[in-house]
């Protein structure tokens, strides 16, 4: 079986990491072409994971030795590249966000529907994490009865000065937003962002932590602590409360150590390690799907659209002193039925 020939648009660190993954971890794929707005960066990537460079994303999408496209460029350019790929009828994997505005997301949705088949997958990797998958199995298998509440926390050790208050929703909470829609098989209908006492260990412009509340169509209440300067490590918590039980996402397995008066485990310091296996599985399944000629099974363009609309609502709440903001999603077309 011939390898899937992947073209990569954007050779920043996530692009490079995916090139490494396609080359060294995922079977059945090869990177044939790479492009970047910085030609030098593209050349270095092409040298490291042998591929040719192309001047533009459009060239890369059009290249005959590119079967499928991976978009890992700067967020605001995603829509253009994805639309090009859809127009070319080529499968495209786009790192989140699908697009930076709801309008652009909808343009992609419409173009994809017009093309008659699903081509787009968005890079929400948590759906591929073994822990979340087991959690979904428990919920789907009626292990806790009907879900009523979900308590979440998303903590990072620290955030750079470039991290702004809206990014708590756009870049951070967006992962929970996607994975909870999938976990609950439910839609989020409102968002609210409260601001607890701020930590002193942050850049002064930043509201951190933030406490977010979401409600779903079925009335499930989700609360999410986003705390990006928690100091102690990268820590993802998710506890689903149902009518008959409570299920909790596992912490990563780690050696327990009894030493110096303490009994404990190391906390991971970065999200790459936390979700390394999820990234591997995500690309492995995507490549296998492309090779098999089927439609992508992962997060769809619709999921990308919904995530953008919901994060917009959260940002609006943040900027209006914590008002409850309704999520104004269009009706989901049958084309995107799960």
Window 159 to 188, contacts with a copy of itself (CB under 8 A): none
The residue (of 80 and 285) whose beta carbon lies closer to a copy of itself is 285
Going by the DSSP 8-state scheme, the letter that residue 3 receives in this structure is P
- Considering only residues 70 through 99, tell me which ones interact with a copy of itself, judged by CB under 8 A: none
User: How would you classify the pairing of strands 147-155 and 235-242?
Assistant: antiparallel
Interface residue with a copy of itself, options 213, 271, 295, 335 (CB under 8 A): 213
Torsion on CA atoms 14, 15, 18, 24, rounded to nearest 10: -120
Report the alpha-carbon distance of residue 101 to residue 17 in Å, rounded: 26
Structure tokens at 266: 């190391």
User: Would you count residue 123 as binding a copy of itself (CB under 8 A)?
Assistant: no
Q: How far is the CB of 89 from a copy of itself (least distance, A)?
A: 26
- Is residue 240 within 8 A of residue 246, CB to CB? The reply is yes
**Is 270 an interacting residue with respect to a copy of itself (CB under 8 A)?**
no
Q: Which is nearer to a copy of itself, 113 or 213 (CB)?
A: 213
Residue placing its CB nearer to a copy of itself in the complex, 297 or 330: 297
Question: C-alpha 305: how far from its chain's center?
Answer: 12
167 within 8 A of 252, measured Cβ to Cβ: no
Q: Shortest distance, CB of residue 231 to a copy of itself, whole angstroms?
A: 5
Are 97 and 68 within 8 A, CB to CB? Answer: no
CB contact set of 211 (below 8 Å; sequence gap of 6+): 193, 194, 195, 196, 223, 224, 225, 226
Q: Is the peptide bond before 209 cis (omega within 30 degrees of 0)?
A: yes
Q: What is the phi-psi region of residue 261: left when phi exceeds 0, alpha when psi lies from -120 to 50, beta otherwise?
A: left
Q: Which of 146, 272, 320, 333 binds a copy of itself (CB under 8 A)?
A: 146
Of the residues 52, 203, 248, 332, which one makes contact with a copy of itself according to CB under 8 A: 248
- Could you say which of 253, 293, 321, 338 contacts a copy of itself (CB under 8 A)? 253
What DSSP element (H or E) covers 311? helix 301-318
| CA angle (283, 289, 104) in 5-degree steps | 70
Which is closer to a copy of itself, CB of 205 or CB of 265? 265
List beta partners, residue 122: 94
Q: Which of 59, 80, 251, 316 binds a copy of itself (CB under 8 A)?
A: 251
Residues that contact a copy of itself, how many (by CB under 8 A): 76
Instruction: Judge contact between 219 and 147, C-beta under 8 A.
Output: no
CB of 202: closest distance to a copy of itself in angstroms?
Answer: 9
Q: Which stretch binds a copy of itself (CB under 8 A): 92-100, 232-240, 292-300, 302-310?
A: 232-240
Residue whose CB is less far from a copy of itself, 4 or 120: 4
257 binds a copy of itself (CB under 8 A): yes
Judged by CB under 8 A, the residue of 80, 134, 295, 316 near a copy of itself is 134
Per-residue contact string for residues 190-209; x = within reach of a copy of itself by CB under 8 A: ----x-xxxxxx-------x
Give the contact letters, 9-48, x = binds to a copy of itself (CB under 8 A), - = no. Answer: --------------xxxxxxx-------------------
CB 286 within 8 Å of CB 107: no
């Amino acid at each position: 079986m011939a390898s899937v020939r992947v073209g990569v648009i954007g050779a920043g660190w996530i692009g490079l990491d995916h090139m490494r993954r396609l080359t060294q971890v995922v079977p059945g794929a090869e990177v044939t072409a790479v492009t970047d707005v910085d030609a030098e960066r593209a050349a270095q990537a092409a040298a490291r994971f042998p591929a040719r460079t192309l001047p533009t994303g459009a060239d890369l999408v059009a290249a005959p030795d590119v079967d499928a496209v991976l978009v890992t460029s700067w967020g605001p350019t995603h829509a253009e590249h994805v639309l090009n790929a859809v127009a070319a009828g080529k499968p495209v994997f786009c790192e989140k966000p699908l697009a930076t505005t709801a309008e652009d997301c909808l343009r992609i949705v419409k173009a994809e529907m017009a093309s008659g088949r699903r081509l787009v997958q968005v890079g929400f990797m948590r759906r591929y994490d073994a822990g979340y998958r087991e959690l979904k199995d428990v919920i789907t298998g009626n292990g806790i009865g009907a879900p009523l509440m979900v308590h979440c926390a998303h903590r990072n050790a620290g955030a750079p000065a470039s991290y702004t208050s809206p990014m708590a929703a756009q870049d951070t909470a967006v992962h929970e937003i996607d994975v909870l829609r999938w976990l609950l098989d439910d839609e989020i209908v409102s968002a609210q962002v409260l601001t607890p006492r701020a930590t002193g260990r942050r850049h002064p412009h930043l509201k951190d932590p933030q406490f977010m509340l979401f409600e779903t169509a079925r009335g499930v209440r989700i609360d999410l602590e986003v705390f990006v300067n928690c100091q102690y490590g990268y820590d993802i918590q998710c506890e689903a409360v149902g009518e008959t039980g409570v299920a909790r996402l596992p912490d990563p397995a780690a050696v327990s150590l009894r030493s110096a008066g303490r009994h404990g485990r190391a906390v991971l310091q970065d999200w790459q390690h936390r979700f390394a296996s999820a990234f591997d599985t995500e690309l492995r399944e995507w490549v296998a799907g492309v090779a098999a000629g089927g439609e992508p099974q992962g997060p769809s363009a619709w999921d990308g659209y919904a995530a953008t609309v919901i994060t917009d609502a959260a940002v609006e709440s943040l900027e209006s002193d914590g008002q409850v903001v309704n999520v104004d999603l269009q009706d989901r077309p049958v084309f995107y039925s799960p």
